[in-house]
Structure 1
Amino acid sequence: MITPTPAVIGYTRSSTVADNVSLTSLAEDLASHGFVVAGIDHTHDSGQVEFPGGRVEVAQSIPPDSADQETLVRTADARFVLDQIARLNTGNNPDVDHQRLPAFRHTLNLARVGMFGHSHGAEATAETMLQDHRITAGAGLDGGVSDRVATAGLNTPFMVISGNSSAGHPMTEENLTTLWPHLTGWSRWLRLRGTGHLAFTDFETFAPQLNTPPATRQALFGTLAPERAVTIERKYLLAFFIEQLDHHHQRLLDRPSGRYPEMIFER
């Protein structure tokens, strides 16, 4: 008998860096620890999305006044993906082209599903948690939440890791102060010192190779060394999902760590 894997982690990517590789380093680390990870490319948000028949849709500019609609579309995408994963787990093939897929029949534990995202993806994560109780734990990386989530609150575990250089990205903490008293489940608000908004993406590791002025690079990625930033982000995201989905207590989330002094405990 195959024991179902403890969790499925769906992650939604940032519209700021709408690219197929923007959160791969975090996803790969979770997968290496036994989680099944599903990534979502949002049409007209990700760089390119290919449909059956070869049609390719590219990213489009999102007007500032449509940001809330973008969150709702991302949430609908995430819920659709959950539906298809559920079909896959029952032995069905949801692939529209009927391509052969890996055999996942009864191997996924869909009672324990986590989700995480960066920037707008963080907001979509919280929105999906509000709308769909199949998400049992969620994490937002340098992103805020919608007015709906802030008012209604969340009753499932929620963790935020904010950057330390968010002056140019006011939305990264939007509504978090309002939300916090309305959280009834486990919660943690952390801040990674020395990081800019893009330090939570794979582009962090490319930063030293970019032919951009040092001041611009610092504004985007911060001052924390890329290797160090990736290491810390992986440690805390993994600890969160192990604690909330595997139900194994992680002392790393209890208090500040001498091994990772860059991580500040806000709440």
Structure 2
Amino acid sequence: MPTFALRGALAVAVTVSLLTSAAPATATTEAAEATRVAQAVLPRPTGPYPVGTTTLHLVDDSRPDPWVPSEKSRQILVSLWYPARSNQGPTAPYMTPQESALLLEGQGIEGLPPDILSRTRTNAVAEAPPAGRGRSLPLVMLSPGLTAPRSSLTALAEDLASRGYVVAGVDHTYESFGTTFPDGHTTTCVACQSWDSPEYGAKSTKVRAADVSFVLDRLTGPRPAWRHARLINPSRIAMAGHSIGGGSATWAMLGDSRIDAGVNMDGAFHIPIPERGLSRPFMFLGEPKTHVPTGTDATWGRDWPRLTGWKRWFTVGRADHTSFTDYPLITDQLGLDPGDRLPGTRLVEITRRYVGAFLDLTLRHRSQPFPRYPEVTSWRP
């Protein structure tokens, strides 16, 4: 089964370390020192608002953890990004050093400092006072790819927040290489032990849909977990995800009528849409090798006719599976060779523009054409 992988973006680091081992000692030392001090920086959001962020630790007592049944409650970490009144204050960390080390280790990446990803500089100010009136802000749920933490979609989340959305990035516990909880303990990818089994895709899809519905309960229900939840408009909600996170969006929408629209960024659908169809708006955004009508993943073509509402299918030339996350941007800034892939800055721009245009249309009913990029192809099978 296809899995989210940093290896496509970072594997060149291994080559770099092998090449420098044959170079003169001074060059090797200088290269190693440059790597140690490198810091990636996420691009500034494009909207008019500063961005704030906070983290929620949510506990679902209604079900045991699906990956570790001995844990009688499902515990989930959620990052919220939102429009803020001010950009004064320290920006939030991208991820913890433990999460960075586990992500690199899980992908078999060597030659980089273990904490290098945690040094990435973000734009969102931790605990900044939010902006907005009651029930004025649409809500976007973000689900990351297999093995990836919620932080992998930060550049997209910050941009949406700067344009007036509340964005909830969900860490699906035990499906990420590392998730660090507020008490300091870090869970690992227990689900990875079974990802080669035929049942894994469907199970993960259902787990993620349940996680998203639970988080919606805690954000829009009578006793919300976020003290500023009154700003959220509960009648304007979308879900977007990468890889299996995107592939889970249709199943989440079928099971939860609160989700008005969905986006799948380069993810296969492991559970088919039933024959009755899904009538709410949906968008595909993927790499061409896999996700064109004649590509190697047939699930988009299979489910396309059963999307009976407003829909769009886009592919991005010279993109790969990681292209719709932060990682191409980060690895470019760390000086790693992208090969034939588009530059990370361009990929972030395209992802932000297309996802943003879709959400503006479907949640805010702002009629506008999609942006036109020469790298992007629109398909109408």
Q: Does the alignment pair 1:77 with 2:211?
A: yes
Alignment match of 2:357 (pick from 239, 243, 261): 239
Q: How many residues align?
A: 243
In 2, Cα distance between equivalents of 1:67 and 1:146: 5
Checking the alignment, whether the CA contact within 8 Å between 1:20 and 1:47 is kept in structure 2 is no
Secondary structure in 1 matching 2:353: helix
Q: Amino acid of the residue matched to residue 76 of structure 1?
A: A
Deviating runs (4+, > 4 A) in structure 1? 50-55, 209-212
Structure 1 residue 125: deviation in Å? 1.2
Instruction: Tell me which residue corresponds to 2:273.
Output: 149
Structure 1 residue 181: deviation in Å? 1.3
Q: Does the alignment pair 1:230 with 2:230?
A: no
Instruction: Tell me which residue corresponds to 1:97.
Output: none
Secondary structure in 2 matching 1:135: coil
Instruction: Tell me which residue corresponds to 1:128.
Output: 252
Checking the alignment, whether the CA contact within 8 Å between 1:19 and 1:46 is kept in structure 2 is yes
Structure 1 residue 174: deviation in Å? 4.1
Checking the alignment, whether the CA contact within 8 Å between 2:236 and 2:260 is kept in structure 1 is yes
In 2, Cα distance between equivalents of 1:85 and 1:28: 19
- Give the root-mean-square deviation of aligned CA atoms: 2.5
Instruction: Tell me which residue corresponds to 1:198.
Output: 322
Instruction: Tell me which residue corresponds to 1:263.
Output: 376
Equivalent residues in 2 for 1:1-267, closer than 5 Å: 2-16=133-147, 18-51=148-181, 54-60=184-190, 61=192, 62-65=194-197, 66-87=200-221, 90=222, 92-94=223-225, 101-105=226-230, 107-149=231-273, 151-166=275-290, 173-209=297-333, 214=337, 217-218=338-339, 223-252=341-370, 257=372, 260-267=373-380
Structure 1 residue 197: deviation in Å? 0.5
Checking the alignment, whether the CA contact within 8 Å between 1:150 and 1:175 is kept in structure 2 is no
In 2, Cα distance between equivalents of 1:102 and 1:171: 46
In 1, Cα distance between equivalents of 2:139 and 2:304: 26
In 1, Cα distance between equivalents of 2:284 and 2:313: 5
Q: Amino acid of the residue matched to residue 37 of structure 1?
A: V
Structure 1 residue 154: deviation in Å? 1.2
Q: Amino acid of the residue matched to residue 40 of structure 1?
A: V
Secondary structure in 1 matching 2:151: coil
In 2, Cα distance between equivalents of 1:129 and 1:172: 25
Gaps of 5+ in 2: 1-131
Q: 1:33–1:59: structure 2 CA closer, same or farther, 3 Å change rule? A: same
Instruction: Tell me which residue corresponds to 2:62.
Output: none
TM-score (norm 2): 0.59
Q: 1:123–1:6: structure 2 CA closer, same or farther, 3 Å change rule? A: same
Secondary structure in 1 matching 2:322: helix
Secondary structure in 2 matching 1:198: helix
Q: Amino acid of the residue matched to residue 229 of structure 1?
A: L
In 1, Cα distance between equivalents of 2:276 and 2:270: 10
In 2, Cα distance between equivalents of 1:226 and 1:251: 24
Sequence identity percentage: 35
Structure 1 residue 20: deviation in Å? 3.7
Secondary structure in 1 matching 2:229: coil
Q: Amino acid of the residue matched to residue 28 of structure 1?
A: E
Larger radius of gyration: 2
Secondary structure in 2 matching 1:10: strand
